[in-house]
Structure 1
Amino acid sequence: MTQALDRWSPPMRDPDDDTPRLECGVFGVFDIDDAAAMTALGLHALQHRGQEACGIASFDGQRFHTERHMGHVGDAFGGGGLAERMPGRFAIGHTRYSTAGGSFIRNVQPMFADMEAGGVALAHNGNLTNFLTLREQLVSDGVIFQSTSDSEVILHLIARSRKSRFVDRFTEALSRIEGGYALVALTNKKLIGVRDPLGIRPLVLGDLDGKAVLASETCALDMIGARFVRDIEHGEMVIIDRHGIESLRPFPAKQARPCIFEYVYFARPDSVVNGRSVYDVRKRMGRRLAQEAPADIDVVVPVPDSGVPAALGFAQEAGAPFEMGIIRNHYVGRTFIQPTQGARELGVRMKLAPNRAVLAGKKVMLIDDSIVRGTNSVRVVRMVREAGAAEVHLRSASPPIQWPDYYGIDMPDRDKLLAANHSVEEIAKILNVDSMGYLSVEGLYWAMGVGPRDEANPQFTDHYFTGDYPTRLLDREIAEGRNEAVDRQLSFLVDA
């Protein structure tokens, strides 16, 4: 029971870091020279999707080679000798943020297993919402786990399938999992990519001199000079081998509901996700925000770096100058976390510094991509005021985040989400701003170019704003049921 309850607790993180985190990015190449080195380049482009750990698995035609490291891609794979350590023309890679499974090397991907038909390496972006249920069933059947990652469940399900073909085994395993995911798998003959039935997590197909590439985002294709071919569609499995590319539809047909937070924050601005330029969408978010929540201001300042496109759109719509009033230091590592409050304050100043020439005496409009707990916003507003701003107004380029995520985004529980527990007026007082505003859900859908949200059949996964979860949350339901049972037992004992 404790394990199930712990799974739904937020992981330990920098107390000054208020940004939502996506678990990971995936990448894979098939039949190209220096496949591991090319994969490392692809992972560089996906570093923003996971900065705690990374790994690569390659196949040289005879055997698999795997390396998994804590830290950034450049530190792990940037030195010489990668081609010698990881030979082969086939490879997959992964960048990772830890979730409640913990930041340990045993949880770093790709994960590898020797099976009856040969080796299998697997890299996974997303989260399985029935992971604990499946894990408990497998453990009760005698399965031994080497990690606390939900990705290992998939490998065990593949291994236990009695189907003869690997693709059929893989399909049978996927039929038992729930949640949001994009997977790449490498066998001794195939590179496989698959996207969950709703297409919550992204995956794209590219072409490099006639050879197939799979990646979480198009920016990784650009990094290696590959041509974007298309998005892997929701519920689609692509099987790549020496004969070409085969597309299968192993799941019942459903309407796609991709994660709208990819456009708000996660994807790189230069990526194209599901046919939409992330940069263009973010600028449109800023334009609509200026229409919905205007203010009498002198200057528009983004909270770097993800707030920049929305701030540009806001400034253009509002007819106000756009200025870099806050400068980010890109050379501060995420490990600079100090235990005392005073040291943490200095740590924030190492990451962000006010540009006094822009801020002093001005009525400043700060634009952030989103606000989760508000801890970072408090410090940014204080910094801007101390730099001499006459007024500080704050706008979020996304709607209020009121519900946690269970599909691969690290967000706090609902009682820690600022907008879930306070009105806009209360939030303005908490953050010490002269005015506060959020983009509406309708405005976000307008920025996506799809018109109003279809309440009966939403076009996107947007539960963090609406509470409308697109799938069953089995592990959470079981955990809540166990909590209720414990509460009833405690109540009985007290009454007795």
Structure 2
Amino acid sequence: MSELREECGVVGVFSPRETYEIGRTVYYGLYSLQHRGQESCGIVVNDDGVFASHKDLGLVNDVFNNSTLDELGVGSLAVGHVRYGTTGKNERANAQPIVVNHIKGSMAVAHNGNIVNSGDLRRELELEGSIFQTTSDTEVIAYLITKERLRTDCIENAINAAMHRLKGAYSLCVMSPNKLIAVRDDRGFRPLCYGLTEDGRYVVASESCALDAVGAKFVRDIEPGEIVIFNHDGIRSIKDHCNKNPKSICIFEYIYFARPDSKIDGISVHRARVEAGRALAIDYPVDADIVIGVPDSGLDAAVGYARESGIPYGMGFVKNKYIGRTFIAPGQAQREKLVNIKLNVIEETVRGKRVVMIDDSIVRGTTSRNIVEKLRHAGAKEVHLMLTAPPFVDECYYGTDVSDKSQLIAANHTVDEICTLIGCDSIGFLKMERLHEMIGTAPNVGYCDACFGGEYPAGRATTGKFKFETKLSESKKKEN
């Protein structure tokens, strides 16, 4: 079970006619992206330039009901967001979409990713008079676009200009009084795509599974660096930032974050995970009786391992589907408690057997140790842990909340030491050279593997990702 956190999921809808259903369309899209963020959520509906918004802490079905959706009213444009913040505190003020009202009209922004130079940009904007209401880097993006909007004739040109200043990962849904705009950073760290419903509504979403949920047919992925504008005049694309840098999609989208029924940049997430499992079986052959996967991201890889090894696949765990992903808990003790009520071992599957258990990754190792202990308690003779990710040895600055190196078990221990600490009989990490096989590319082409010891395509955070809020707190103390 992973202890990782990923920032967000975004949804945007443009309808050729006003409808009360537009808020519900976004709702269903967000519901299908709940796995991407379980801290807070929000929807903004646009009725001829008048924005109605509702957002709060909690899951989609807790924050919204028939009454709150009705209150959003009628509209032809809407954007929505599910959040697990990698910058900014867990506060209602940091829930998205962020709405900015300025002299040229309102704007709503929903963001997935992480801006590595947000601290520098925020300082610059504050010195120019901007007053921030949140600690999220999304507000930095919104203010930067607003600043450029005052100098340009249309919002897409403002976004185009702002992109020259932004460094890092950002997939955006931006809504103006009469346009829906989809934006992806020039390296394509985070996914973004759009589709079309039978009644002519365009839907933008972080993953293709959200298009399926609202009855939209997938059209295509937004290209890295592309700005796509949807309005009553049709669809336009600005590609001034395309092909400036090599594509660097986060490889962990395929390993863990995305739903297996999604396709990202034309690649099936399910197939990628099956390939990872197959590679593990080749590189780490084990004499065992059963292969099991840790729900959900380990299941597809377990199928791949079983197929390649010839060892039978079995259902080893029952998952309580009413509990969110374990990484959303605010502290380690709480995460461990959630594992106990979220996963239960099927004793009949593992008792007296040599078990190969497939999971996605290890961060601190405490959750993995908990699961191994549960298998031992259920009677497993041996437990061989296989991970579909290489060891985490460094931080991530692009929207995956990988802790600083002092908290990473693989950065401070050898593989043998990790095996002993977790209590398994053997352990195997996916080899770095196997990553490209997952997604069918040439070696080291098209993905970011910085947290596994690779290069940082867009550099590291200029202010220190984990120190930014501390600096803000210290500044406030001095003012007081």
TM-score (norm 1): 0.88
1:139-150 aligned within 5 A:
139-150=126-137
The residue that corresponds to 2:152 in the other structure is 163
Does the 8 Å contact 1:18/1:373 carry over to 2?
A: no
Equivalent of 2:72 in 85, 98, 106: 85
Does the 8 Å contact 2:5/2:86 carry over to 1?
A: no
- Residue 254 of structure 1 deviates from its aligned partner by 2.1
Does 1:394 pair with 2:385?
yes
Partners of 1:364 and 1:49 in 2: how far apart? 30
Shift of the 157–347 alpha-carbon distance from structure 1 to 2, 3 Å rule, reads closer
Partners of 2:126 and 2:71 in 1: how far apart? 38
Equivalent of 2:123 in 133, 136, 140: 136
- Residue 160 of structure 1 deviates from its aligned partner by 2.1
Q: Secondary structure at the match of 2:446?
A: coil
1:227-246 aligned within 5 A:
227-246=217-236
- Residue 436 of structure 1 deviates from its aligned partner by 0.8
- Residue 237 of structure 1 deviates from its aligned partner by 0.3
The residue that corresponds to 2:459 in the other structure is 472
Does the 8 Å contact 2:53/2:72 carry over to 1?
A: no
Does the 8 Å contact 2:277/2:388 carry over to 1?
A: yes
Equivalent of 2:61 in 68, 74, 80: 74
- Residue 442 of structure 1 deviates from its aligned partner by 1.4
Partners of 1:411 and 1:61 in 2: how far apart? 41
Partners of 2:248 and 2:406 in 1: how far apart? 26
Equivalent of 1:35 in 15, 22, 46: 22
Does 1:173 pair with 2:154?
no
- Residue 443 of structure 1 deviates from its aligned partner by 1.5
TM-score (norm 2): 0.91
- Residue 339 of structure 1 deviates from its aligned partner by 8.7
1:177-326 aligned within 5 A:
177-209=166-198, 210-251=200-241, 253-326=244-317
- Residue 474 of structure 1 deviates from its aligned partner by 4.4
Does the 8 Å contact 2:11/2:26 carry over to 1?
A: yes
Which 5+ residue runs of structure 1 have no aligned equivalent? 1-16, 484-496
- Residue 447 of structure 1 deviates from its aligned partner by 2.0
The residue that corresponds to 1:127 in the other structure is 114
Partners of 2:250 and 2:336 in 1: how far apart? 33
Q: Secondary structure at the match of 1:57?
A: strand
The residue that corresponds to 1:494 in the other structure is none
Does the 8 Å contact 1:117/1:166 carry over to 2?
A: no
AA aligned to 2:373 is R
Shift of the 95–81 alpha-carbon distance from structure 1 to 2, 3 Å rule, reads closer
Equivalent of 2:96 in 96, 109, 122: 109
Which 5+ residue runs of structure 2 have no aligned equivalent? 471-480
Shift of the 460–318 alpha-carbon distance from structure 1 to 2, 3 Å rule, reads same
Does the 8 Å contact 1:327/1:353 carry over to 2?
A: yes
Does the 8 Å contact 1:338/1:347 carry over to 2?
A: no
Equivalent of 1:381 in 372, 394, 406: 372
Does 1:429 pair with 2:420?
yes
Deviations 1:150-195 (A, max 9, x none): 1111221122222232222222222211101100111111100010
Q: Secondary structure at the match of 1:56?
A: strand
AA aligned to 1:277 is S
AA aligned to 2:238 is L
Q: Secondary structure at the match of 1:394?
A: strand
AA aligned to 1:29 is V
Equivalent of 1:64 in 51, 55, 62: 51
Q: Secondary structure at the match of 1:475?
A: coil
184-193 vs 419-428, greater mean Cα deviation? 419-428
Partners of 1:412 and 1:344 in 2: how far apart? 15
Does the 8 Å contact 1:30/1:191 carry over to 2?
A: yes
Deviations 1:19-63 (A, max 9, x none): 211100000010153111100010001100001100001111141
Does the 8 Å contact 1:301/1:366 carry over to 2?
A: yes
Deviations 1:455-476 (A, max 9, x none): xxx4211111133100122424
Shift of the 340–294 alpha-carbon distance from structure 1 to 2, 3 Å rule, reads closer
Shift of the 334–298 alpha-carbon distance from structure 1 to 2, 3 Å rule, reads closer
1:475-486 aligned within 5 A:
475-476=462-463
Shift of the 72–347 alpha-carbon distance from structure 1 to 2, 3 Å rule, reads closer
Does the 8 Å contact 2:209/2:262 carry over to 1?
A: yes
Does 1:118 pair with 2:105?
yes
Deviations 1:325-369 (A, max 9, x none): 12111223679979996x876543211111111111100111001
Q: Secondary structure at the match of 1:64?
A: strand
Shift of the 263–344 alpha-carbon distance from structure 1 to 2, 3 Å rule, reads closer
Partners of 2:450 and 2:332 in 1: how far apart? 35
Shift of the 475–291 alpha-carbon distance from structure 1 to 2, 3 Å rule, reads same
Shift of the 82–346 alpha-carbon distance from structure 1 to 2, 3 Å rule, reads closer
- Residue 479 of structure 1 deviates from its aligned partner by 9.2
Shift of the 179–318 alpha-carbon distance from structure 1 to 2, 3 Å rule, reads same
Partners of 2:124 and 2:362 in 1: how far apart? 38
- Residue 84 of structure 1 deviates from its aligned partner by 4.0
The residue that corresponds to 2:345 in the other structure is 354
AA aligned to 2:204 is L
Does 1:413 pair with 2:400?
no
* Paired-residue identity, %: 44
Deviations 1:274-304 (A, max 9, x none): 1001001100110111001111100001111
Equivalent of 1:450 in 411, 436, 441: 441
Does 1:19 pair with 2:3?
yes
205-214 vs 368-377, greater mean Cα deviation? 205-214
Q: Secondary structure at the match of 1:219?
A: helix
465-474 vs 377-386, greater mean Cα deviation? 465-474
Partners of 1:477 and 1:222 in 2: how far apart? 38
Partners of 1:276 and 1:158 in 2: how far apart? 32
Deviations 1:122-157 (A, max 9, x none): 100000000000111111222111111111112211
1:365-380 aligned within 5 A:
365-380=356-371
Partners of 1:97 and 1:243 in 2: how far apart? 35
